[in-house]
Structure 1
Amino acid sequence: MKVTRMELQPGVWLTAVQTKKFKSSVLGAQFLAPLTAQSAAVNALTPMVLRRGTAKHPDLESLSAALDELYGGSLEPMVRKKGETQCVGFVGSFLDDAYTLNKEQVLEPAAALLSELIGAPYTRDGAFCPDYTRQEKANLIDRIKAQVNDKRQYAQIRVVAEMCAGEPFGVDKLGSMEAVEAITPQTLWEGYQTLLNQARVELYYCGSADPERVQAAFHPLLTVLPAGKRAGLVRPAKKKAPKTPRRVEEALDVTQGKLAMGFRTNCDAWDEHYPALMLVNAIYGGTTTSKLFMNVREKLSLCYYASSGLMNDKDVMLVSSGVEFDKVGQAEGEILSQLYKCQAGDFSDDELEWARRSVVSTLRTTLDTQSRMEDYWLSQSAAGLTEGPDDMAARVEAVTRAQVVEAAQDLTLDTVYFLKGRE
C-alpha cells in the first residue's frame, strides 16, 4: 500500500492510496470550512442539493443512469465534523479498473462525474433549483429532528453543546432547524460560492491506479475550482474545565436515563503524548476489558452500558452511560472512582496490555476497510497531519505505564448531562 500526498494547486490537496487489496475504488472531494453557527446549515445542505442534479443530468433519474453506466457506482453527499472544521462534499465507490470486463476505465469518467456535480450544478435563474432546495431543506430538518430518536447519541450531542457552548466545537455539524428554515435558493447559492472560492479542498482516491493517473483524472475538477488563496487550517484552542462542573438535566419520555459526562483532556491529536491518552481511554472505558465495562457495568450493575470515547481533534473525552433514574448518583460516583484509579496508576500490567492490543488492532484494521481508511485520512488532512495508522500504532506500542498515568492525570470533569424521564 502506497500513500501519496500532493498539493495540486494552492489549498487543493490530493491523498492517493494505491493498493490492489480491494475490488472497488473510492473517490472523494471535501470542502473544509471553519465550523460556525452562521454557516453550518448552509454548508450541510449544499452537497444534498448538489446531488439532486447537474446541468447535464438535471434530476436523480438521469444521475442514477450515469452511475449505472459506471458499473453501478455511487456518489453520496457527506457532512462531517473534524474538530472545529466542517467537512462537506462527496464520497463515491466504483468498481476498480482492474476488475472491469474489457479493461474499461472507470476512474476517469467517475472523476468527471464528480467534477460535474461540483462544477456544473443544476440551477434556475442563477441560483439553486427552488424545488430541490425546498425538498432537501425538509430532509435536513428531518435529520436534525431525528437526532433525538437515538437517546444515547442525543445525550452526547447535548453534553458537547453545553460543554463547548461559545466554541465552534459546540456547533452541530448539521446546523440548527431555525438556520435551515431561513435558507433560500439564493442564500444557499451564495454560501456555495464561498465554499468554492475560499474553502480548503481535500481530494481522495483509494484503488489500484498510480498517483500520476489519479492526478490527471482529477484535472477536470481543478478547472472548475477558482484559483486563489484558500483558508488555512486552524488548531482548536484548549480550554480548562470549570472549578465546579456544569450540571444540566433534561426531561423527555424515556424509560432509561442517559448520563453523559464531558472531560477536558489537555491533549489532542497534535500533541506528542496523544498515543498515551489513547491508552488511557482504552483502559478507562474504550474497550470490553475496560474499567467502566468490567466494574460499573458488569460487577456493580450500575449501568446498562458505560463507555468512554475521545474526540481526537479536540481536547474532549466523553463518557456515555445508560442508568436507572434512581441510580444516577451512584453511577456517576463510580464512573469517577474508576477514573481516579487510572490517575493513580491502579491498573494491572494485563489491563495495560489488553488496552494496547485493542488500540493497535483498531488502528491496523483501519487499513482493511475503505470507508474507515477514507475517514481516517480526512481526519488527518483536516488536522494537517500525515501520520498513517501503522506509524500511529508503532507510537502506541512504545508508550510506557508512566506516560499513561501522566496523561490520565490531565483529565478533568467539565460537564455532566442527565436525560431523565418526565415526572
Structure 2
Amino acid sequence: MNDRFQRESIGDGVWFSSVTDPKFKHNRISANLLVGLESETASVNAALPFILRRGCRSCPDFTMLNQKLCELYGASLSCDVSKFGGYQVLELSIYGIDDRFTLDNAPLARECAALLCDVLLDPKLSDGAFDEQDTALERQQLVDTIEGQINDKRLYALTRCKSLMCAGEPIAVDKYGSIPDAKAITARSAAEAYRRVVETAQVELFFVGSGDPAEAKETFRKAFSGIRRSPAALEKVQTALRADRVREQTDEMDVAQSKLVMGFRTGEIKDRRAFGGMRMMVALFGGTPTSRLFTYVREKLSLCYYCAARFDRLTGLMFVDSGVEKQNGRKAYDEILRQLDCVRRGEFTDEELTATRLLMQTSLEAVGDSLSATEEWYLTQIVGGAQYSAKDESALLDEVTREDVIAAAGQVTLDTVYFLTGKEAE
C-alpha cells in the first residue's frame, strides 16, 4: 500500500483528505456528512443521500444526471448511509477515470468534484421542499430496507444484541432508524433535515486515487465558503467499560437455525500497545480460520455452523456470534467462554499467535488495493481520533507479545447474551 495520506481543514468543520497511489487508474471523490445517531432523526437523515442522488438544480432528473455522468467518461455517482460507532455517516461519492486517460487531458477530477458539489449543496427544491415523487419513492425504499433487515437473521441477531447491550445510547440506534419514523418522512421534513445536516454535520471530504487532488480541493473550498455552518464537535462516543451483570434475552421466530450472540465489554484500552494486544486477542480467539472458536467450537466439537468474534475499535465492544441447533445453544455458550478462559490463561501456542499475526497483516496489506476500502480505513481512523495507516497497524502487530494478548483477554467481561431460536411446536 503506497499511500500518502494528507488531511487539512478547508472550512468550518469541513475537512479535505487525500490518499494518492499511482497504481490506480481511477479516482474516488466523496463527501461524508457525520451526525450523531439519534432515534428521532435517524430515518429522515438516512433518506437524504438517496433523495439527493435523484438530481440537482443543474441536472433535475435521472436522465439529465446520467447524461452528465456519461459525458464524464462514464463516471458513476453513488450514495450510502453507514454507522461508525455512535455516528451516522451520509455519503455521496463519484468515481471516474484519472485525467491522464482522458482526451486532451481534460480536467475530469475537477468536473467530477463540481458535479458532486452540485448534488450535495445545490439540490432540486421547490418552495423549500424536495420533489414529492422523489421523496415518496425513497421513503418507500427506506421502509422496505428496514423491513428487510429481519431476513438476514445473522445480522438481525447481532443488531438486536447490540441494541439490548447499549440501550439508551447512540450506539444502539439503527443507521436506518425505525419504520414509523421512515413512514413519517415528507418532502418538507426531509428538506428541513437536509438544511440542518448541512449546517451542523462534520464534513469529511475524500479524494482517493492516482490523480492530483488540488483542483478538487479548491472546488470544495469555494463551494463550502458560501454555506452557513455551525458544526457540532466530533467527540468519541462513550459506553461502559465493564459489565456489571450478564443480561440474557431469548426471542422466538420461524427459523431453522438458531443464532447465539454474546456481547462483551473490553475495558479501558490505555495506549496503542494495549489496542494492538486487544486486536490480536480477538483475532486469535475468533477472528481467523485458525482461531480458537473456529478450531474447537465449530470444527472439533461441531457445536455450530459458524462461530466468530469481531471487535469494534470505535466502541470497544466485542461480539461473538454463532449459528447453532437449538439443543446445542447452551453447549456452544459454555465452550465459547471456556475458549476465552484458555486465552486468559495463555493456553495457546506460539504457532497460533504467529498464524494470527500473519493473517491480520495480510488483511491489512489488502486495504490499499481498493479505493473504497482505503477511504473507509481512514474515515474510521478520523472518527476514532487517529490518523494511522494500515502499515502503521501492521507494524504495531509485530510488537504485540503473548503477554499483551493474555492481558487483553483478562479485561474482557460478558455483558449480554442474545438467543434467537425457533418456536416450540404446538
**With structure 2 as the length reference, what TM-score do the two structures score?**
0.96
Structure 1 stretch displaced more, 204-213 or 291-300: 204-213
1:345 counterpart letter in structure 2 = G
CA distance in 2, matches of 1:269, 1:187: 43
1:198-226: CA deviation from partner (whole Å, max 9, x where unpaired) = 11100000122334333223234324532
Structure 1 stretch displaced more, 339-348 or 178-187: 178-187
Give the Å deviation of 1:256. Answer: 0.6
Corresponding residue for residue 218 of structure 1: 220
**Aligned CA-pair RMSD:** 1.5
Determine helix, strand or coil for the equivalent of 2:104: coil
Corresponding residue for residue 91 of structure 2: 89
1:350-392: CA deviation from partner (whole Å, max 9, x where unpaired) = 1111111111221221011111111111111222311111111
Structure 1 stretch displaced more, 288-297 or 237-246: 237-246
CA distance in 2, matches of 1:96, 1:210: 9
Q: Does residue 1:347 correspond to 2:348, yes or no? A: yes
Q: Does residue 1:359 correspond to 2:370, yes or no? A: no
Corresponding residue for residue 82 of structure 2: 80
Corresponding residue for residue 50 of structure 2: 48
User: Does the 8 A contact of 1:75 with 1:90 survive in 2?
Assistant: yes
User: Does the 8 A contact of 2:286 with 2:310 survive in 1?
Assistant: yes
Corresponding residue for residue 307 of structure 1: 308
Structure 1 stretch displaced more, 198-207 or 356-365: 356-365
CA distance in 2, matches of 1:154, 1:380: 26
Give the Å deviation of 1:14. Answer: 0.8
CA distance in 2, matches of 1:140, 1:244: 36
Match of 2:138 among 136, 139, 143: 136
The aligned runs of 1:11-410 (5 Å cut-off) are: 11-226=13-228, 228-267=229-268, 272-410=273-411
Structure 1 stretch displaced more, 51-60 or 320-329: 51-60
Give the Å deviation of 1:320. Answer: 1.0
Determine helix, strand or coil for the equivalent of 2:386: coil
User: Does the 8 A contact of 1:238 with 1:266 survive in 2?
Assistant: no
1:359 counterpart letter in structure 2 = M
Give the Å deviation of 1:267. Answer: 4.5
CA distance in 2, matches of 1:303, 1:285: 13
Question: Which structure 1 segments of 5+ residues have no match?
Answer: none
Give the Å deviation of 1:241. Answer: 4.3
Give the Å deviation of 1:304. Answer: 0.3
Give the Å deviation of 1:341. Answer: 0.8
Corresponding residue for residue 412 of structure 1: 413
**With structure 1 as the length reference, what TM-score do the two structures score?**
0.96
Determine helix, strand or coil for the equivalent of 1:218: helix
Determine helix, strand or coil for the equivalent of 1:169: helix
Determine helix, strand or coil for the equivalent of 1:261: strand
User: Does the 8 A contact of 1:269 with 1:313 survive in 2?
Assistant: no
CA distance in 2, matches of 1:211, 1:135: 35
Q: 1:50 to 1:332 in 2, by over 3 A?
A: same
CA distance in 1, matches of 2:304, 2:101: 49
1:78-127: CA deviation from partner (whole Å, max 9, x where unpaired) = 11111111110212211112222432221011001100011111112211
1:235-264: CA deviation from partner (whole Å, max 9, x where unpaired) = 121304444311111111110101111111
Q: 1:268 to 1:377 in 2, by over 3 A?
A: farther
Structure 1 stretch displaced more, 286-295 or 34-43: 34-43
Q: 1:157 to 1:268 in 2, by over 3 A?
A: farther
Give the Å deviation of 1:34. Answer: 0.8
User: Does the 8 A contact of 2:264 with 2:415 survive in 1?
Assistant: yes
User: Does the 8 A contact of 1:16 with 1:214 survive in 2?
Assistant: no
- Percent of aligned pairs sharing the same letter: 38
Q: 1:187 to 1:269 in 2, by over 3 A?
A: farther
Q: 1:270 to 1:209 in 2, by over 3 A?
A: farther
Q: Report the number of matched residues.
A: 422
User: Does the 8 A contact of 2:258 with 2:325 survive in 1?
Assistant: yes
Determine helix, strand or coil for the equivalent of 1:378: helix
User: Does the 8 A contact of 1:267 with 1:274 survive in 2?
Assistant: no
Determine helix, strand or coil for the equivalent of 2:203: strand
Match of 1:9 among 5, 11, 24: 11
Structure 1 stretch displaced more, 207-216 or 188-197: 207-216
2:353 counterpart letter in structure 1 = L
Q: 1:351 to 1:287 in 2, by over 3 A?
A: same
Question: Which structure 2 segments of 5+ residues have no match?
Answer: none
Determine helix, strand or coil for the equivalent of 1:387: coil
CA distance in 2, matches of 1:254, 1:40: 29
Structure 1 stretch displaced more, 182-191 or 45-54: 182-191
Give the Å deviation of 1:24. Answer: 1.2
